Each structure stands twice: as C-alpha cells, then as structure tokens.
Structure 1
Amino acid sequence: MHALQYEITLPADYDMGVIRHRVASKGHLLDRFPGLGFKAYLMRERGRTGSPVNQYAPFYLWNTAEGMNSFLWGPGFQGLVDDFGRPTVQNWTVLAYEEGGAVTSAPRSAVRRRQRIPEATRLPELARELAEEARTTARRAGAVSALTAIDPRTWEAVHFSLWDRETPDAVGDVFQVLHLSTPEREKLPHGRHW
C-alpha cells in the first residue's frame, strides 16, 4: 500500500469557501476509483486548530500502485494542476494500517505527524514501534483509522489518523475532513505490512 499527499498552501486572505465548493462539487468523482482505499479531502484554515496557514492537502491510501498511477497520470490530477499548479507529491510506503472503533462514522478531522528517523536508528525495532503506534492510536475513542508509513528516500515516518470529532486524541497537524471517498476501504489489509 502507498500513502500519498500533496499540500497546496494558499494566501492568508484566501476564501476557503472556494475549496469547500470544489470538494462539494468534485469530491464524489473518486468515490468509485479503482485501487483507492480512501481519499480524505483535507483542509486547514489559518488560525483554526493552531494552523498557521490556509491549505488544501488531500491524503490518499492506495491499495494498488496501478490505481495511484492511473490517478497521477489521469485527468483528475491534471485538473488540480491546471487550477493550482503542479504540487510536490509526497509518497510513503505503508508499514501498518488499523481501523478504529469509529470506522463506520464520517470523519470530521485528521491528524498528520511527521517524524525524522535518525541514521543510528535500528530499523527493525522502529518498524515494530511504528506498527504498534498505529494500533494504539486506532484503539482510542473516536478513532476511525490510523496508519504509519515511511519514505525511505528521506527517512521520514508519517503518522496519519482520521477521527469522528473536531478535537482528536492525537498530536500533529490537525485538518478538517471535507469528504471521504472509500471505494476500496474494505480491501485494505489491516495490521503490519511486512
């Protein structure tokens, strides 16, 4: 599985209603996209939940590389590029994915935390710790799902979780969830991925 995210940082005085309208009118287009476990349409507003910026930052969890590539090289992503310019696409290999007790609830918020991995870190132990963190996070009240993933090019871990409440029980950048597309969420393998 692959996790993917891009961030479009917008001016401080940007009307975030434009992003809400974009998601309301186009979010459903990925509700049946092949190979997509889920896409969380995420937004941060400057001054809300500690955000220093206005930002549109969708987060994807892909079941298949073919699905991810079909999206990146298809008309949907090109439409975003046409409207906002081509963003840097962050890509992580998923180590663990867990569903929480609130998995049937519509998520209202998401939390993303990045973690640099020092060179001296023993990778087998780290992988086990990251998988356990996903499982522990998913067990918290209000958790919809949680995952941990690694970018081995930069040696960065990402912790990502969805929550059924505006104030999540996790530390990191907090996003509003405007829509969640889940065409193949039931196919996502749970637990550790090695």
Structure 2
Amino acid sequence: MHAMQYEITLPADYDMDVVRGRVARVGHLLDAWDGLGLKAYLMRERGTHGSPVNQYAPFYLWNTTEGMNRFLWGGGFEKLSDDFGRPPVRQWTGLACQEGGAAGSPARVAVRRRQPVPDGTRPAEVAQDAVREAGRLAGEDGAVFAAVAVDTGRWELVHFSLWEHDAPGADGDVFQVLHLSAPGRDRLPRGRQW
C-alpha cells in the first residue's frame, strides 16, 4: 500500500463551491481506476472544523505503484495541474490499514495527522505504536476506515481516518469528504504490512 496526497491552498476569499463543482463533475473518473485502493476527495474550508485555510487536498491509498504512476504520468494528474498548477505530491509507504465499525457508511469527514518520528527512538517501536493507533481509531464510534503510513525520507508518520459523522474521534486536520472513489478498497491489505 502506498499513500499519496497533494494540497492546493486557495485564497481566503476563494469560492469553495468551485471545488465542490469540480469534484461533482470529475470525481467519478477514478471510480474504476486500476490499482487505486481509495481516493478521498478532501476539502478544508476556512472557518469550518477549525480550518485556518481554504484547501483542496485529495488523499490516496494505492494498491499498486503501477496504478499510482499511471495516474501521475498517464494523464489523471495532468488535468489537475492544468487547472491549479502542479503541486508537490507527498508519498508514504503503508504500515497498516483497517476497516472501522461504520465501514458500510458513507464518509462525511476525514482526519489527517502528520507526526514526526523522533530522533533517538527505534523506528520499529514507533511503527508498532502507529499500527496500534490505526486499530484504535478503527474501533472508535463512527469510524469508517483508518490507515497509517511513513515517509522515511522525512521520518514522518501520517495517520488517516474516515468518519461517518462530523465529530471524529481523532486529532488532526479535519477535511470534508466530497466524494470517495474506492475501486480497490477491498484489496487493500488489512492489518500490519510487514
């Protein structure tokens, strides 16, 4: 599993209905993308859920690097770059993912928390703790899905979770879920991934 996200921060007075409309028009295009586990079309709106910014920030979990590369180099990412400019794309290697108790429910919000892996700690212990945290999040009331991944270039964990209600049981940046494409969600490997 590979996690990926880019963030497009927009002006404070930007009409976020433009983003909503864009997702309504094109969100379905990845509903059958080969190699994609899930893509959450995420948006933060200034003043909503404590967000200080307007931002479009889709989050991806890929089953295959081929599917991810086909998106990045084969045209899917190109249209976004044409519309908004080419943002940096963050990538993490998957450590764990788990369905939540509300797995059959539509996701209303997502929470993303980035966490540094502190110097002087054993990476294996930090990874084990992160896997346990993903399991804890998946067990919270209203959890649809939880995952954790690591960027070893920055030694940074990313915790990602989807929730069926607007009061998630996780700390981090809260995003509205505008659409969820999940053609390979059932093929994402469950539990610890090493």
Shorter-normalised TM range: over 0.9
- Cα distance in structure 1, aligned partners of 2:98 and 2:92: 16
Identity of matched residues, %: 65
Partner residue of 2:28?
Answer: 28
Q: Which runs of 5+ in 1 are unaligned?
A: none
- Cα distance in structure 2, aligned partners of 1:134 and 1:34: 25
CA contact (8 A) 2:117 2:123 kept: no
Deviations 1:37-60 (A, max 9, x none): 000000000011100000000000
Q: How does 1:155-174 map to 2 (within 5 A)?
A: 155-174=155-174
Partner residue of 2:6?
Answer: 6
Report the Cα offset of residue 77 of structure 1: 0.5
Partner residue of 1:118?
Answer: 118
Q: Does 1:42 align with 2:42?
A: yes
Q: Give the root-mean-square deviation of aligned CA atoms.
A: 0.5
Whichever residue aligns with residue 69 of structure 1, its letter is N
Partner residue of 1:132?
Answer: 132
- Cα distance in structure 2, aligned partners of 1:50 and 1:74: 36
Partner residue of 2:78?
Answer: 78
Q: Which runs of 5+ in 2 are unaligned?
A: none
Report the Cα offset of residue 119 of structure 1: 1.6
CA contact (8 A) 2:40 2:60 kept: yes
Q: Does 1:55 align with 2:58?
A: no
Report the Cα offset of residue 74 of structure 1: 1.8
CA contact (8 A) 2:138 2:144 kept: yes
- Cα distance in structure 1, aligned partners of 2:122 and 2:20: 43
- Cα distance in structure 1, aligned partners of 2:79 and 2:124: 40
Report the Cα offset of residue 167 of structure 1: 1.5
Whichever residue aligns with residue 27 of structure 1, its letter is G
Report the Cα offset of residue 117 of structure 1: 1.1
1:180 aligns to what SS in structure 2? Answer: strand
- Cα distance in structure 1, aligned partners of 2:163 and 2:60: 16
- Cα distance in structure 2, aligned partners of 1:124 and 1:28: 38
- Cα distance in structure 2, aligned partners of 1:100 and 1:178: 19
Report the Cα offset of residue 76 of structure 1: 1.6
Report the Cα offset of residue 124 of structure 1: 1.3
TM-score of the superposed pair, with normalisation by structure 1: 0.99
Whichever residue aligns with residue 138 of structure 2, its letter is A
Report the Cα offset of residue 123 of structure 1: 1.1
Report the Cα offset of residue 181 of structure 1: 0.3
- Cα distance in structure 1, aligned partners of 2:53 and 2:159: 20
Report the Cα offset of residue 166 of structure 1: 1.3
Report the Cα offset of residue 34 of structure 1: 0.2
- Cα distance in structure 2, aligned partners of 1:170 and 1:126: 18
- Cα distance in structure 2, aligned partners of 1:76 and 1:22: 14
Report the Cα offset of residue 133 of structure 1: 0.5
